[in-house]
Structure 1
Amino acid sequence: MWKTISVAAWVIAGASGLAPAAFSQESGGEWQHASALTGTPKYRPDFSHFDYVNPDAPKGGELKYYATGTFDSLNPIPYGGSKAAGLSLVFETLMTPAEDEIDAQYGLLAEGFRVPEDLSFVTYRLNPEARFSDGEPVTAEDVVFSFERLKELNAMYANYYRHVVSAEVTGEREVTFSFDETGNRELPQIVGQLMVLPKHWFEDGRDVSASTLDKIVGSGPYEIAEVNPGSSITYRLRDDYWGRDLPVNVGRNNFGSVNFLYFADLDVAFEAFRAGTFDFWVETRAKRWATGYNFPAVKDGQVKREAVPNPLRKTGIMQALVPNNRRAPFDDERVREALIYAFDFETINKNQLSDAYSRNNSYWFGTDLASSGLPQGEELQILESVRDLVPPEVFNTASKLPVGGTEAESRANLQKAFQLLKEAGFERRGSQMVNAETGEPFSFEILLDNPSLQVVVLPYVENLRKLGIDASVRVVDTSQYQNRVNDFDYDMIWELWAQSLSPGNEQFNYWGSRSVDQPGSENYAGVSDPGVDALIGKIVFADDRDTLVAATKALDRVLLAHDFVIPLYYSKDYRIAYWNTIAHPGFPEYGLDFPAAWWSTEAK
Structure 2
Amino acid sequence: MKIFSALILLFAAAHAYAAHGLALGQPVRYPAGFKSFDYVNPEAPKGGTFTLPAAGGFDTFNPFTLKGSREAGMAMLTLDTLAEKGKDEPFAIYSLLAQDISPASDGLSVTFKINPKARFHNGDPVQAKDVAASFNILTRDKAAAPMYRFYWADVARVETPDARTVVFRFKKRNAELHMTLGELPVFSHKSYPEGLAAAPNTPPIGSGPYRFNKADSGRLSEFVRDKNYWAQNLPVRKGMYNFDTVRFKYYKDDTVRLEGIKGGQYDFMQENSARNWARAYPEELLAKRRLRKHEWRHSNTAGMQGFVMNLRRAPFNDIRVRQALVESFDFENTNARLFYGLYRRSNSFFTHSEMAASGKPSGMEAAMLERVRRHLPAAVFAQNAPEPPKTDPVHGIRPNLRKARALLEQVGYRYRNGVLVNPQGRPLVVEFLSPSKTYERVTAKWRNDLAKIGVRMNVRMADPSVYRKRVGSFDFDMTVVVYANSQSPGNEQFDYFSCASAKAEGSHNWAGVCDPAVEALLKHFESFETRTELVAASRALDRVLRHQYIVVPNWYTDRYRVVYRNTLGIPARQPKYYTPAEWALSAGWVKR
- Shorter-normalised TM-score: what interval? over 0.9
Distance 2:302 2:460 in 1: 29
**Aligned-residue offset at 1:414:** 0.4
Closer, same or farther: CA 24–568 of 1 in aligned 2, 3 Å: farther
* Match for residue 432 of structure 1 among 399, 419, 442: 419
**Aligned-residue offset at 1:438:** 1.1
Is 410-419 or 495-504 further displaced after alignment?
495-504
> Does 1:47 pair with 2:34?
yes
Task: Show the counterpart of 2:256.
Answer: 268
Task: Show the counterpart of 1:97.
Answer: 85
Task: Show the counterpart of 2:49.
Answer: 62
Task: Show the counterpart of 2:3.
Answer: none
Unaligned runs of 5+ in 2: 1-9
* Match for residue 279 of structure 2 among 267, 270, 291: 291
> Does 1:115 pair with 2:106?
no
TM-score scaled by structure 2?
A: 0.93
Q: What residue identity is the alignment partner of 2:297?
A: P
Please show how residues 219-298 of structure 1 align to structure 2 within 5 Å: 219-298=207-286
CA contact (8 A) 1:79 1:156 kept: no
CA contact (8 A) 1:74 1:84 kept: yes
Q: What residue identity is the alignment partner of 1:186?
A: E
Q: What residue identity is the alignment partner of 1:60?
A: G
**CA deviation string 1:266-319 (max 9, x = no partner):** 221111100101111111111221222215243468212211113xx3334111
Distance 2:366 2:89 in 1: 31
CA contact (8 A) 1:318 1:360 kept: yes
Q: What residue identity is the alignment partner of 1:330?
A: F
**Aligned-residue offset at 1:407:** 5.9
CA contact (8 A) 2:392 2:399 kept: no
**Aligned-residue offset at 1:28:** 4.6
Task: Show the counterpart of 2:68.
Answer: 81
Q: What residue identity is the alignment partner of 2:183?
A: Q
CA contact (8 A) 2:432 2:478 kept: yes
**CA deviation string 1:54-90 (max 9, x = no partner):** 1111111111111111101111222121110111101
Secondary structure class of the residue paired with 1:532? helix
Distance 2:164 2:430 in 1: 54
**Aligned-residue offset at 1:29:** 0.8
**Aligned-residue offset at 1:458:** 2.4
Distance 1:130 1:54 in 2: 23
> Does 1:583 pair with 2:573?
no
Q: What residue identity is the alignment partner of 2:415?
A: R
Task: Show the counterpart of 1:133.
Answer: 121
Distance 1:446 1:391 in 2: 29
TM-score scaled by structure 1?
A: 0.92
Task: Show the counterpart of 2:554.
Answer: 568
CA contact (8 A) 1:336 1:564 kept: yes
Closer, same or farther: CA 217–541 of 1 in aligned 2, 3 Å: closer
**Aligned-residue offset at 1:467:** 2.1
Distance 2:266 2:454 in 1: 45
Closer, same or farther: CA 386–492 of 1 in aligned 2, 3 Å: same
Please show how residues 385-404 of structure 1 align to structure 2 within 5 Å: 385-398=371-384, 399-404=386-391
**Aligned-residue offset at 1:25:** 5.7
Unaligned runs of 5+ in 1: 1-22
> Does 1:317 pair with 2:303?
yes
Secondary structure class of the residue paired with 1:270? helix
Task: Show the counterpart of 2:395.
Answer: 408
> Does 1:505 pair with 2:487?
no
Task: Show the counterpart of 1:147.
Answer: 135
Distance 1:102 1:74 in 2: 32
Q: What residue identity is the alignment partner of 1:598?
A: G
CA contact (8 A) 2:344 2:556 kept: yes
Q: What residue identity is the alignment partner of 1:351?
A: R
Task: Show the counterpart of 1:31.
Answer: 18
* Match for residue 348 of structure 1 among 311, 329, 334: 334
Distance 2:352 2:253 in 1: 30
Distance 1:392 1:513 in 2: 23
CA contact (8 A) 2:44 2:239 kept: yes
Distance 2:230 2:489 in 1: 34
Distance 1:244 1:547 in 2: 38
Task: Show the counterpart of 2:169.
Answer: 178
Distance 1:374 1:228 in 2: 55
> Does 1:557 pair with 2:543?
yes
Distance 2:418 2:569 in 1: 57
Distance 1:36 1:388 in 2: 36
Task: Show the counterpart of 2:5.
Answer: none
For the aligned residue pairs, the C-alpha RMSD in angstroms reads 1.8
**Aligned-residue offset at 1:217:** 2.8
**CA deviation string 1:370-424 (max 9, x = no partner):** 1111112222222222111112101111123211154614101001000000101
Please show how residues 1-16 of structure 1 align to structure 2 within 5 Å: none
Q: What residue identity is the alignment partner of 2:19?
A: Q
* Match for residue 463 of structure 1 among 428, 432, 449: 449
Task: Show the counterpart of 2:437.
Answer: 451
CA contact (8 A) 1:201 1:216 kept: yes
Q: What residue identity is the alignment partner of 2:261?
A: F
> Does 1:188 pair with 2:181?
no
**Aligned-residue offset at 1:501:** 2.8
**Aligned-residue offset at 1:548:** 2.3
**Aligned-residue offset at 1:516:** 0.9
**CA deviation string 1:221-266 (max 9, x = no partner):** 1001111121110000012211111111111110000010011122
Distance 1:211 1:422 in 2: 53
Aligned length: 574
**Aligned-residue offset at 1:214:** 4.5
Closer, same or farther: CA 301–272 of 1 in aligned 2, 3 Å: closer
> Does 1:200 pair with 2:190?
yes
Secondary structure class of the residue paired with 1:233? strand
Closer, same or farther: CA 76–301 of 1 in aligned 2, 3 Å: closer
**Aligned-residue offset at 1:594:** 2.1
CA contact (8 A) 1:347 1:405 kept: no
**CA deviation string 1:351-378 (max 9, x = no partner):** 1111111111111111111111111222
**Aligned-residue offset at 1:207:** 5.1
CA contact (8 A) 1:403 1:409 kept: no
CA contact (8 A) 1:126 1:139 kept: yes
Is 207-216 or 46-55 further displaced after alignment?
207-216
Q: What residue identity is the alignment partner of 1:596?
A: S
Closer, same or farther: CA 333–24 of 1 in aligned 2, 3 Å: farther
Task: Show the counterpart of 1:599.
Answer: 589
**Aligned-residue offset at 1:162:** 1.1
**Aligned-residue offset at 1:478:** 1.9
Is 498-507 or 322-331 further displaced after alignment?
498-507
Distance 2:529 2:31 in 1: 26
Distance 1:215 1:360 in 2: 38
Is 165-174 or 231-240 further displaced after alignment?
165-174
Distance 1:166 1:411 in 2: 58
Distance 2:517 2:396 in 1: 33
Is 45-54 or 472-481 further displaced after alignment?
472-481
